[in-house]
Chain A
């Protein structure tokens, strides 16, 4: 039996696993099929002739990557908001919440379990999509390279030149930096899911939770701009009111622009581990604070 009545990772794990199963049996994985079709379709796409073969090769690979990452980004945000928003109201409506809270389950364990269940599902879905993307990219890149090598041999390029051009093409194919881009997609979804959890902890309706979460998501893209105004450009052009408002917005709303490294990772350019590390740390803090606030609102909630 448990002796820890405040916080138990085993108990959280049980609820998380259960939430995962509950959500996955909602046929959400059908979306993955749609994704697979979309990206396989995109991979057969060929750009109308560029000047040289490697140009169109680059554009083709770029099309595959941008389609896939765009779809992953969209799916994870929608799912993070919608799935989290329905978890608590569903339990209340079905009265299953009572049966859980009447067991020796602290409310924080319950909330964290729900959140981790959602995150686990998002992670798995993104991972599957990523595997598919990487696979398709790999095959496409290899086929481009082998045809390029044949051309280069015929044109009599030096081995150094050939290696160089090969490395340029590889840079557009599956790289670790692309994976960092995928990770950033997941981190962003994690933050939004925690926000949805917070809102649902005091809201009574799924729709309200979704609406507020979408609003916060939207505002969060401008937080960086507001912060720039605050830190660098506080001239007298702005009224006191707007200064206060923008400061308040910066403090309250998360900064989602930090997660927009997708475009850069599609370039195949390097994303330093330091940046990813800090981004991950920030995400953990966001999720932590929002979870604590969610518990705070939820702990005395009466049913």
Chain B
């Protein structure tokens, strides 16, 4: 009996020695390719409680994360923002490479939570603003953490760019541009989306007076690159930048090239003035040109689209 036991143990040990290097290298490869989940740390295990912990051992993290995500939605509905934040911490610890959870968490915090607390009538004005800013920063931190853990992903960078270019929050073009650059440089982004983001970068550059030259050069590059880039907004912005920089004719893009016809020019410039200029885009010479076109096209003042 004892002899049997010793022989069995010996065989197991020998087999163990043989497989340890094989398993170690396989584990290494799998971790490199992010196939294996990272270890769940003690703190997370405690937060999950006993059943949750047992489940994560059994390889059901995905299920637990899905259910927690659901719980977070309910917490959001009930405006329990602290709980929501904790829940998303858990969810992203369990599934750090699932982009959508980072995305949702960031959105809930920076948009929903911030908006909600800013409307809280129970708090004094300054406190509302402080808390709203706090949640925006929390959302930002959350998204940045997700982006760092998933360096190949660009969608979180795009979300961060959106957050900092959003005119209704706390627009910060420099931060937005940094994130746009990260997204644009990502290896996984497709051409179409990249082009959209490049145009967004152009807009952000244009918002900064000190970057006018850089903005113009970049915008021109886009303009000449492809017809897809020649959106009304882009053309109008280039027009304004040209005026702001007081470029001489050889450097400018001719007006007739920017806008296909006077009517088109009038419409696009009027729209630009109404919607983009309030967002801090350049306005140099825009009003004058609009008036000039109105005269040229004999559009009566009461039919003008702008009201400066």
Contacts and interface: CB of A to CB of B under 8 A. Distances in A.
A225 B97 CA distance: 21
B57 A67 contact: no
B257 interface: no
A116 interface: no
Interface string A247-290: 00011100101111111101101011011001100100100010
A264 B37 contact: yes
B299 to A, nearest CB: 29
B192 A278 contact: no
A59 B36 contact: no
A247 B9 CA distance: 14
Interface string B42-84: 0000000000000101111111011001100110010000000
Given A261-B30, A282-B22, A296-B4, A252 B12 contact: yes
Interface string B14-52: 011101101110110110011111010000000000000
B8 interface: yes
B233 interface: no
B98 A227 contact: no
A147 interface: no
B276 interface: no
A34 interface: no
B103 to A, nearest CB: 8
Interface in B142-196: 190-193
A135 interface: no
Interface string A27-70: 00000000000000000000110110001001100110111011
Contacts of B24: 227, 231
B8 A251 contact: no
A263 B95 contact: yes
B63 A264 contact: no
B23 A255 contact: yes
A155 to B, nearest CB: 13
Contacts of B70: 47-48, 63
B7 interface: yes
Contacts of A227: 20, 23-24, 27
Q: How large is the interface on B (under 10, 10 to 19, 20 to 34, 35 or more residues)?
A: 35 or more
Contact of A160 (B27, B95, B192): B192
B297 interface: no
Contacts of A161: 190, 192-193
A297 B8 contact: yes
A66 B91 CA distance: 14
Nearest to B7: A296
A263 B12 contact: no
Contact of A285 (B19, B30, B36, B193): B19
A293 B11 contact: yes
A179 interface: no
Contacts of B30: 258, 261, 275
A51 B107 contact: yes
Contacts of A269: 34-35
A258 B23 contact: yes
Contacts of B141: none
A187 to B, nearest CB: 12
Interface centre among B23, B34, B190 (most CB of A within 10 A): B23
Contacts of A59: 66, 69, 100
A74 interface: yes
Contact of B35 (A55, A77, A271): A271
A164 B191 CA distance: 11
A262 to B, nearest CB: 5
Given A158-B192, A224-B27, A263-B61, A63 B77 contact: no
B59 A73 contact: yes
B190 A164 contact: yes
B16 A251 contact: yes
A106 B43 CA distance: 52
B73 A47 contact: yes
Contacts of A279: 26
23 contacts: A48-B73, A59-B69, A62-B62, A62-B66, A66-B63, A160-B192, A161-B190, A202-B4, A224-B23, A224-B27, A225-B39, A250-B20, A251-B20, A252-B9, A257-B27, A258-B27, A258-B30, A258-B36, A263-B95, A272-B33, A279-B26, A285-B19, A296-B8
Given A47-B73, A263-B95, A282-B23, 6 more contacts: A70-B55, A262-B59, A271-B35, A293-B8, A296-B11, A297-B4
Which 5 pairs of residues, A with B, have the shortest CB-CB distance?
A: A251-B16, A66-B62, A66-B63, A70-B60, A70-B63
